[in-house]
Every structure is written in structure tokens, then in C-alpha cells.
Amino acid sequence: MTDVTLTLAGETVSLLPERALYWHRRSTLIVADAHWGKAAAFRASSVAIPGEMTDDDLARLSAALTRTQPEHIVYLGDLLHAKAGRSPRTFAAVEAWRARYSHIEMTLVRGNHDRGAGDPPDDWNIACADAPVIDPPFAFQHFPAGVAGCYALAGHLHPGAILSGGGHQNLKLPCFWFSRQIGVLPAFGSFTGTSPIQPQRGDRIYVVADDEVIGVGG
């Protein structure tokens, strides 16, 4: 795994290929848009979708936890995808995973899907709050919007950067996108897709390519 460590709003952070950001001083791992239960919601609508996606995402999150050893995880919204995705299989997998990491504090900053899906069960022991959640110099929220006096960290967009190669080849990869006042994290969930971003001059872009984070702009 190849991380990128940089200074953001005066703080040292690492961008992880697991599609998460680690804030060193506060020993906090930050994750956006897990959308757990999305596959189950599709299956509830009679769409054939593999059922192991949540297991894969939990394994990837466990890998990030093993490498960073955080004291706190902050989810930047859309932890659960929809009410239809609150399936026994999904919940059992997350409950077992949460029990392994019961010593880690977890906070969900609610996003638009959380309003429809509902808060996670009480026994997951995840504190839920409306945005913004302020931990200076950062403001944690789901929607990417400026917050006075803070650098905002957000999700929602599922940002992807398009890289162009020879032979008119294009490759779209999930990315971290940092503008002057707002940073947008890639969607953590493996069943989320990406949306092309439109960076401005001076923005910093870091794509996730397999086990690497690579800077491509700024």
C-alpha cells in the first residue's frame, strides 16, 4: 500500500488507497459514502447483485484500521444506503465487524441517504449527528460546502478523475479532491460508482489506483 501524506489546513493527514483519510494528530480515520446495504436494496427490487460487497468493504476498512490504529472513525454521511438495504445479512456482517473494533469511537455525520435509511442500530454504538461536526481546523459534513473558519471535509459527490493516455484512451479513477476551503473524499463503498469532477486551478487531485494514491494535479 502506498499512501500520500500531506499538510491540509496546517494538519498532517494521509490519503489511503483504502479510500480513507487519516488525521494524525487526532488519530482519526475519515470515510465517506460507504452505502452499506446498497446491494441488498437492489436485490429487494429483484435486481441480481452479488452479496459479498459489504464483506469486501469491511475487510478493506479493517485493513485501514490495522495500518493506522485510529482511536476514532468519522463517517461523512451515507453510511447506509436505503431502508430496503437493512437486510439481516448486511446487519449481521456489520455487527460482527463492529464487535471486533468496540474500542474505537465512531461518529456518523448524517447525509441524504441516512435520512431515508435511518440511523444505524443502537448496538453498533455509532454516535449520529447532523452536519457540520466541528473539530478544528476541520468541519465534517456530507455535502461539500464552505464552513466559516474551518476547512470542510465532505463526501456526497463520489469524485472521479479522468486520466487521458495514448491512443485516445481514458481511465476514470476515484479521487481525493482538495480545493482552497473544501476537501471531498472518494466514495468508500465498492458499489457506488464515480462522477467526473471539474477542478479549478490550484486544486489538488489524488487518484486511487489499486494499492496506490497518486497525485495528478495542483
The dihedral built from the CA positions of residue 80, 81, 83 and 88, taken in this order, carries a sign that is negative
Domain extents in the chain? 4-217
Each residue of 56-71: pLDDT tens digit?
A: 899 999 999 999 999 9
pLDDT band with cut points at 50, 70 and 90 for residue 131? very high
Each residue of 9-45: pLDDT tens digit?
A: 999 999 999 999 999 999 999 999 998 875 554 444 4
Query: Which cell goes with 214?
Result: 497518486
The enclosing H or E element of 72 equals strand 72-75
Each residue of 132-189: pLDDT tens digit?
A: 999 999 999 999 999 999 999 999 999 999 886 655 567 889 999 999 999 999 999 9
Q: What pLDDT score was predicted for residue 171?
A: 83
Residue 81 above 70 pLDDT?
no
Q: Which fold has domain 4-217?
A: Purple Acid Phosphatase; chain A, domain 2 (3.60.21)
pLDDT band with cut points at 50, 70 and 90 for residue 213? very high
Query: Which cell goes with 157?
Result: 459527490
